[in-house]
Chains A and B, each alone.
Chain A
Amino acid sequence: MLKIENLSVYYGKIRALNNVSLEVRDGEIVSLIGANGAGKSTLIWTVAGCIKPLSGRITLDGKEIPPLPHVAAAMGIGLSPERRRLFPNLTVRENLLMGAFLRNDKEGIERDAKAMYELFPVLAKRKEQYAGTLSGGEQQMLAIARALMSKPKLLLLDEPSLGLSPLLTSEVFRKITEVNQTGVTVLLVEQNAKKALKVAHRAYVIEAGRITMEDSASKLLESDHVRRAYLGVRGE
């Protein structure tokens, strides 16, 4: 579905992504794990069309994604950004409507909003509340729901566990699996490597802007390097 080939991104003279290639297949959850500043978010924003790469190709179902965010969204990219970035001055319902901005099927939008309230019952009680008044966990649910409202082919999730308690993190990851089971393909970017690897089918490790490992998530969970560097397991 998503194919990234030899992608390089620079911020001025600073190289953020160095010749990155990555693939997400239909129906998969693919995790990209890495430390702070490794280039995870840069990759997400570039796929979403918000950053113009220096070189490389990003294609969705064979069609190239241009560096124009509204076009990327129209092609089927749904983004739940890092730190959630909800519209605090909009109500929960209005945030969902913004997720469905490119859709014109009123009934379908209503139906999907209802489905979101069922998937995330905490939101149903807060429909008319400003998003700025929600708790961290609720905000994360809303950010995912907002991204899903566009009926994306590919859901980009950037650090969904950020700032959440372990309990809420587990809850969010359960929801990610649920969403994936409804047929949405997911590219997940996380610092919480353990959770991200447990939920994913396949995973990549990014270090200093380069992909250094790629394998099935279960194999990466057992790799010595990943265990030492990302899972806090000390060498035997």
Chain B
Amino acid sequence: MGELKVFLQTLITGLAIGGVYALMAVGYSLVFSILNFSNFAHGVVIMLGAYFGYYMCTLFHLPISLATTGAMLGAGLLAIANEKLAYRPLRLRSAVPLYFMISAMGASMFLENMVYVTVGAHFFSYPEVFKGSLSILHAKIGLLDVVALCVSAVAITGLTLFLNKAKLGIAIRAASRDMTVAGALGVNIDKLLSVVFFIAGAFAGIAGVFLGVKYMVYPTMGWITNKAYIAAVIGGIGSLPGAVIGGIILGVVESFVATYVSTALRDVFSFSLLVVLLMVMPSGLLGKTLEEKV
């Protein structure tokens, strides 16, 4: 029965990581679907989300649930500020997506270095939370993995409902196809983008806390978001279901490669998967062919 046990453990770990990738990938996809550029500042928002959560836990001794809420708020507001300062001026001048991307990289470098200057390059670890494990069919499943999986699922389901049922959600989908006409119908585009960036940031906050708890908190932890970006591209960037599917696929593949092949080869596999997939399906799994863009 050892085989099954390992398999099950690997699968759940993969799904949990995949869920966190999906949370991050959704942020890339939401922004891409409306502003048509890859928001490379998303990584630092996740990193700072992890710091926010960390300080709420250690300085204010908040329980992890409240710390996560705080991280969501903090990262959400940070993402709004990022939009207002780095992208809005470009938007008003109808700049091409390339300029947005360069501005995003600038914002990313600025914030990362701000962390070096203020907090320093130390590695911090969260206080131990979700330490226990569950036993399913003799497999030991980490509690953290289970929580990560559940929280990701709830957050993404909530977002899907919001986009499909709420007036503001429908407006976001409308603006993803035609921002000008959405504006002419009465949608305040500035406000709408604040909502979009807040959602992306709040999801980044959750992801940051999970990454911080699972690994460590440090200024360059945003690199993990490269993986989320890969997930978004695999799924078809701009597509919300695509981001989720891409995240899950990537998480599970990585987990299995780490268990059955080698940990060192894990990232080689992720990037190879991306390259091969893009050769076969240049717009990703659900890109373009899908009716729904967000």
A residues with a Cβ closer than 8 A to B are: 48-50, 69-70, 72-74, 77, 79, 81, 85, 87-90, 94-95, 97-99, 101-102, 130, 132, 146, 150
Given that A81-B181, A85-B178, A98-B174 are known contacts, is A73 also in contact with B186, CB under 8 Å in the complex? yes
B159 interface contact, C-beta 8 A: no
CB distance from A195 to the nearest CB of B (A): 24
Chain A positions within 8 Å of B177 at CB level: 87-90
**A79 to B182 CA separation, bound complex (whole angstroms):** 10
In terms of DSSP, what is the predominant structure of the interface of chain A? Answer: mixed
Q: Is the CB of A79 within 8 A of B185?
A: yes
B residues contacting the other copy or chain, number (CB 8 A): 22
B291 interface contact, C-beta 8 A: yes
**A191 to B263 CA separation, bound complex (whole angstroms):** 66
Chain B positions within 8 Å of A90 at CB level: 170, 173-174, 177
CB distance from B238 to the nearest CB of A (A): 11
Contact with B183, one of A69, A130, A146 (Cβ below 8 angstroms): A69
Chain A positions within 8 Å of B171 at CB level: 98, 101
B42 interface contact, C-beta 8 A: no
Residue pairs across A and B with Cβ atoms less than 8 A apart, 10 shown, are A49-B184, A70-B187, A70-B188, A74-B186, A79-B184, A87-B177, A89-B292, A98-B171, A102-B185, A150-B185
In terms of DSSP, what is the predominant structure of the interface of chain B? Answer: helix
CB distance from B88 to the nearest CB of A (A): 14
CB distance from A208 to the nearest CB of B (A): 25
Q: Is the CB of A70 within 8 A of B186?
A: yes
CB distance from A52 to the nearest CB of B (A): 10
5 cross-chain pairs, A with B, having the tightest CB-CB distances, nearest first: A73-B186, A102-B186, A69-B183, A87-B174, A101-B186
CB distance from A62 to the nearest CB of B (A): 21
| Contact string against A for B residues 155-176, beta-carbon threshold 8 Å, 1 for contact and 0 otherwise | 0000000000001001101101
Q: Is the CB of B291 within 8 A of A101?
A: no
Nearest CB to that of B181 among chain A residues?
A: A85
Nearest CB to that of B33 among chain A residues?
A: A89
Contact with A146, one of B180, B185, B291 (Cβ below 8 angstroms): B185
B90 interface contact, C-beta 8 A: no
Nearest CB to that of B294 among chain A residues?
A: A89
Q: Is the CB of B170 within 8 A of A70?
A: no
**A220 to B173 CA separation, bound complex (whole angstroms):** 44
Q: Is the CB of B182 within 8 A of A50?
A: no
